[in-house]
């Protein structure tokens, strides 16, 4: 069932953490990895030794310049975090994540942010759910490779003993490429109508707008209808 799940690491800072993340993935049968603009070259000599045999995860990893490009072919995108964010998202539990991926039509991405700061609000605004890692509230910071290993282990364990959870089986969710196209069209239309009164607040306001639509779990048909509506609205 892990075949329709991919791990995406965003702006990873240390090559050792990439190697260690690949090792943790393969420990629990996750093999598909994408990286978004890491702070080092993918042929860095420190990566493979730390992967401890998970070479194939590294060698087949796909690289992207932007997160929006990395997620275009996914139906669901899940952000991982261990703290509250300004951008509010619905939370998904591991048992519900297992239900989600049990529908093999759902292509799902698990996103992990950089070591120092985690995912920023712009990245989270593109995601459908938050998956939180419970930890000591007085010392909650996890190394990214530890976070990858913990989440992969939790999913692996739940897959061995599936329980009743949220039902995603009938949902046919639009791919992120469709949603991102809608965002681009909507943003241009809002700019033409002078919606953004204060340029300095445009980024924050549009993050909140994207968050409204990402919560709705729109189908391809619904996204096409929205695009048609936006295109036909006159100033």
Q: How far apart are CA 161 and CA 196, in angstroms?
A: 49
pTM of the model: 0.77
Mean pLDDT confidence for 31-41 = 95
Yes or no: domain 2-160 corresponds to CATH 3.40.1280.10:
yes
Domain spans of the chain? 2-160, 176-232
Q: Give per-residue pLDDT as tens, 86-109.
A: 677 888 888 888 888 887 788 999
Statement: residue 23 has pLDDT above 90: yes
Q: Give per-residue pLDDT as tens, 113-143.
A: 998 888 888 899 999 999 988 778 787 778 8
Specify the pLDDT at position 21.
96
Q: How far apart are CA 180 and CA 33, in angstroms?
A: 21
The residues, any chain, with a CB within 8 Å of residue 151's CB and separated by 6 or more, are: 80, 94, 110, 131, 133
């Amino acid at each position: 069932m892990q075949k329709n799940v991919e791990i995406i690491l965003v702006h990873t800072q240390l090559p050792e953490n990439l190697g260690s993340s690949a090792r943790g993935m393969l420990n629990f049968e996750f093999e598909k990895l994408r990286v978004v603009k890491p702070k080092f070259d993918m042929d860095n000599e420190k990566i493979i030794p730390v992967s401890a045999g998970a070479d194939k995860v590294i060698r087949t990893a796909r690289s992207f310049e932007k997160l929006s490009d990395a997620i275009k072919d996914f139906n669901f995108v899940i952000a991982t975090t261990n703290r509250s964010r300004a951008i509010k998202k619905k939370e998904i539990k591991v048992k519900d994540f297992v239900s989600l991926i049990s529908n093999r039509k759902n292509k799902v991405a698990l996103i992990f942010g950089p070591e120092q700061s985690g995912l920023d609000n712009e990245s989270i605004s593109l995601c459908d759910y938050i998956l939180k890692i419970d930890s000591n509230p007085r010392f909650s910071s996890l190394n990214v490779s530890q976070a990858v290993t913990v989440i992969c282990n939790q999913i692996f364990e739940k897959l061995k003993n599936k329980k009743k959870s949220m039902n995603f089986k009938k949902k046919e969710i639009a791919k992120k490429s469709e949603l991102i196209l809608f965002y681009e069209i909507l943003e241009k239309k809002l700019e033409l109508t002078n919606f953004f009164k204060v340029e300095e607040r445009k980024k924050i306001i549009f993050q909140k707008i994207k968050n409204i639509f990402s919560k709705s779990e729109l189908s391809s048909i619904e996204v096409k209808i929205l695009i048609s509506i936006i295109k036909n609205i006159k100033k």
